Amino acid sequence: MQAAALKKKYLEFFRSKQHAAIPSASLIPEHDPTVLFTTAGMHPLVPYLMGQPHPRGKRLASVQKCIRTGDIDAVGDAFHLTFFEMLGNWSLGDYFKKEAIQWSYEFLTGKPWLGMDKNRLFITCFKGDKDAPKDAESAKLWEAAGIPKSHIFFLPKEDNWWGPAGETGPCGPDTEMFYDTGREKCGKGCKPGCGCSKYFEIWNDVFMQYEKTKDGSYLSLTQKNVDTGMGVERTAAVLQGKPSVYEIETFQPIIAAIRKQEKKANERSTRIIADHVRAAAFILGDQRHVSPSNIDQGYVLRRLIRRAIRHGLLLGIEHEFLSQLADMVVDMHGEDYPELRNNKEFIRAELIKEDQRFRQTLLKGLQKFSSFAGNLSGADAFLLFQSYGFPMEMTVELAQEKGMSVDTAGFQEEFQKHQQLSRQGAEKRFKGGLADASAETIKLHTATHLLNEALRKVIGKSIVQKGSNITADRLRFDFNLDRKLTAEELRKVEELVNKKIKEALPVRREEMTFKEALAKGAQAEFQAKYEEQVSVYSIGDFSREICGGPHVQNTSELGTFKIIKEEGVAAGVRRIKAVVK
Ligand code: SER
């Protein structure tokens, strides 16, 4: 079964179990400033996993595009990828372990569905520790479904616990499904989860019962959720009896195109290029634009592109070749992700530009590298990064090839020092949205809506939000204006917000289409992308905004609003920082 058929069947199966299929969200998280990329299908759903009602109901399913760079060094083995598609189904306080496990089993083994041999399925469950008990219930449910006891293993938190996706948020024990490829065991202790590719992990059902808080404790969530994730590429490889994800039809044309151009063969390099070019095409082609840069998502993108170019050199490919491969990615996936098609030219142009930039310094950098005798210090690695554009892992790889080591901790120190000097990296990391869903953050979120409207009343209707970032300590709101606000204006804005807080206005949430929301005068963030169905928050008759929440119920919960800073952040963009006390 090909990947496309797998995705179709998955959504069909969960539709038959009353799930609404929702579209893939952006790769750039909207409401979570603690991570750079969407790493799982649950990521865009965090507010709903925390209790906010979802406009499509309590049972959802999706195919989500994901980026994970944590295992970038493992890319090239049988199953690690930086970009992948994830199938997922969710219960938002609706069904729990029993149905989730029954349906996983039915989808995997049922004849009309994937029809896998149940004797090749292996399961892991959470072993239990001081934070949560052993998940014997899940194991029983698997047995009841038809999995023999000898195929069920209990593992600790490192293996069988998922989340939170950022530093705080919903999480819980999980149960993972593995497929026995029939290969030799890697050793005596070989079992599901041991890391060799005998047992291929394909699906993970997470039982989200807890919220991890800032102080590291686990609180019980009032709403018990199910969050599942199945890797499309891995499962397609299993269904096709292929030994690695790179053998499936979405990789093969790319691999063949690389092979056609290479002068020397190196399987790992070919795979790294194929993976990285897919990731780069999807990041460049995302609905929220990202270009190569030296910070945040742009830096990850730059690393992926440059590492792919360097591995191209290892294969003897000395010309620009990624844009052509990216075209193939767009052609293959453009139907499922129309943003790729819309951005095809942008993807090409950015890849070509980055290739030119990098090749300009690459040879000089390689010469510099050869001049280093012995192991590289952090300062050497930072010089290669700063002056020649060598991403850290590239320097490490180069060193490894020559039997040298690199002081990576020293590099990080240099990197931090530099970032503190420019202050840019850290500031920009908090790029919009809420840092967490604590009571303080929620209050400041509602205060941000009041501030937005107060600015429009005091300065003028042309004010639009350009971005926001809210933590438990303060709110930050960016808007368009080409001058400083006067002290008088700041005072008036503050007064108006405090007046609305005193009026104890109710905060109301409604679902409507994006068009209806605009027709009702709801504010939208400048250039943000919205889905067809949106939620709108109104504060009395004072403010109305398209927003995913969460918010307080009444402005009387807020306390006193105080502006602590007003400053310019870019041409025509001002920033206000404020608190409620
Ligand atoms: N969040 C879980 C995972 O990524 C299940 O979706 O594995």
pLDDT tier at 441 (50, 70, 90 boundaries)?
Answer: confident
> Is domain 3-243 given the CATH code 3.30.930.10 in the classification?
yes
The answer to whether residues 67 and 238 touch, using CB atoms and an 8 Å cutoff, is: no
CATH of 439-580, one of 3.40.50.1820, 1.10.340.30, 3.30.980.10, 3.40.50.970: 3.30.980.10
Q: Is the pLDDT of residue 422 over 50?
A: no
* Summary mean pLDDT of the chain: 90
Q: Which residue from 64, 85, 174, 205 has its CB within 8 A of the most atoms of ligand 1, so it is best to mutate? A: 174
| Residue 353 identity (one-letter amino acid) | K
In angstroms, how far is the first alpha carbon of the chain from the final one?
58
* Average pLDDT estimate for 297-318: 93
The answer to whether residues 191 and 238 touch, using CB atoms and an 8 Å cutoff, is: no
278-295 residues labelled b (16+ CB within 10 A) or e (exposed): bbbbbbbbbbbebebeeb
Q: Which residue from 35, 38, 42 has its CB within 8 A of the most atoms of ligand 1, so it is best to mutate? A: 42
The answer to whether residues 82 and 304 touch, using CB atoms and an 8 Å cutoff, is: yes
The answer to whether residues 441 and 411 touch, using CB atoms and an 8 Å cutoff, is: no
Report helix, strand or coil for 6: helix
Q: Is the pLDDT of residue 88 over 90?
A: yes
The answer to whether residues 245 and 262 touch, using CB atoms and an 8 Å cutoff, is: no
Q: Whose CA is nearest to atom 3 of ligand 1?
A: 229
Is 88's C-beta closer than 6 angstroms to any atom of ligand 1? yes
Cβ neighbours around 107 below 10 Å, total: 21
Taking alpha carbons only, the member of 288, 235, 211 closest to residue 24 is: 288
Cβ neighbours around 316 below 10 Å, total: 12
Least confident of 56-60, 159-163, 324-328: 159-163
Report helix, strand or coil for 544: strand
The answer to whether residues 228 and 109 touch, using CB atoms and an 8 Å cutoff, is: no
* Average pLDDT estimate for 151-165: 91
* Average pLDDT estimate for 536-552: 89
pLDDT in tens, 200-253: 999 999 999 898 888 888 998 888 999 999 999 999 999 999 999 999 999 999
pLDDT in tens, 281-291: 999 999 887 88
pLDDT tier at 431 (50, 70, 90 boundaries)?
Answer: very low
Pick left, alpha or beta for residue 434 (phi over 0 → left; psi -120 to 50 → alpha; otherwise beta): beta
Task: Give the separation between CA 300 and CA 254, rounded to whole angstroms.
Answer: 21
pTM exceeding the 0.85 threshold for the entire prediction: no
pLDDT in tens, 49-66: 888 889 899 999 999 999
* Average pLDDT estimate for 371-393: 88
Least confident of 18-22, 325-329, 422-426, 435-439: 422-426
Angle (deg, nearest 10), helices 344-371 and 267-284: 130
Question: Ligand 1 centroid vs 469 CA: distance in angstroms?
Answer: 26
Is 42's C-beta closer than 6 angstroms to any atom of ligand 1? yes
Please give the residue that has the higher pLDDT: either 177 or 164: 177
